[in-house]
Amino acid sequence: MKRNMSNIDRIIRVVLALVFAYLYFGGIVTGTFGIVLAVFGAVFLLTALLAFCPLYVPFKFSTNK
């Protein structure tokens, strides 16, 4: 996997993942929507750690210089 995310993109994803985790585990957002937020947060965190976003590939998009 070739890196296709810049550090700023990665930081934004980690921050969003933390916000989603806080909303879900803090009990602010519950039910199906809470589970969806938790899954999105996990995906954002994983893609940030790998510096690779599979959704960028079909569009030939990269934030990495």
pLDDT at 53 over 90: yes
Rounded to two decimals, the pTM is: 0.88
Report phi then psi at 16, rounded to 5: -60, -40
User: Counting beta carbons within 10 angstroms of the beta carbon of residue 29, is it exposed (0 to 12), middle (13 to 18) or buried (19 or more)?
Assistant: middle
- Residue 9 is predicted with a pLDDT of 96
- Residue 1 is predicted with a pLDDT of 81
At position 28, the amino acid (one-letter code) is I
